[in-house]
Structure 1
Amino acid sequence: MPDHATEQLRELVRNRDRLVQDCGDSVRQLHRLLDLTFPDFKHHIALLDTVLALTILKAFPTATDVAAATPRRLAKLRHGPRHLVGDPLARQFIAAAKQTVAAQSGDVYRVRIRHACEDLALWRTRLLAIDAMIETLLDDHQVGRLLTQKVEAAAGCKVMNIMTGSGMPVSRKVA
């Protein structure tokens, strides 16, 4: 029978896996929305779950919004404590937005894009908190300490989960 710490780790990993799945769903939704509102966005920033992408999309969710922006305003957007979008990227975005083939730019799309960005930011924060909880539990757990000496915490936790999940003896599971 697994101990209390192992049960806690198992539930945290399940919750983390669900959050990762939700993040992926939200990123896919953002891709679909950008296909309608600003398909060229992905040519300049490939990963939509980055702080840079989310910052730009929250401020200027559609190509129409980007095209109406001044290069200075877009360039001055902060993503992170010390990073700015920058003038070269701002000018590239504005030029692409003015030439885009996107057909949708209404308030409905703005709201949906902003909601997807807010969801991703929230899930990122939750993932960081869960990762910290997993690290703490693994540090306090004997087997967890051994596993995380060689692998990262989430992987070590998954190994523990597999080892204690079935009725098979641990020695057979490791081999």
Structure 2
Amino acid sequence: MAEEAGREPVAVLWAFVVREAPQGPPIAEMFVEIEERRYAELLEDALVSGFALATGEPPPTSAAVLVREGRLAELALAGGHRGWATAQPPSLSGEWLAAAADRRLVVVVLLPPGTMARAAEPPAPDHAASGVAADAFMSAVEAARSVGRLFHGTARVVGET
């Protein structure tokens, strides 16, 4: 469960992926899927932060990914005015933390509700995606992108990486 400061808990699913880049160090990606009843709020916060429809390169945003003790502590949106925190912060792999530290940026992708369920099994939060589960997950992500339901942006990394 996750919660925004001062609000009731809300279900959030996270997936963390490291991708090779055409140039430079690997890219840390964070996929976020929130339950239907709060999706509009999350999307509004993301758009205020500068997220855009996922076509081409992700735009820079005012968002920040806060990392504490090797775990995701919060996704800060809307210029830092609204934070989406996780009651039980997911662990981040050493590979993901290294990629985030090298670039000091993370690509954050907002998934529409139900995307991860269509993937059958998203990548585990404590290691990089690989194998059949990763292929199914990325296929579900690409399906959401193809119908114009995916939003993305780059967020700065704050904290220990």
Higher helix fraction (1 or 2): 1
Larger radius of gyration: 1
Identify whether the pair has TM-score above 0.5, normalized to the shorter chain.
Answer: no
Higher strand fraction (1 or 2): 2
Please give the range of the TM-score, normalised by the shorter of the 2 chains.
Answer: under 0.3
Task: Give the structure-2-normalised TM-score.
Answer: 0.25
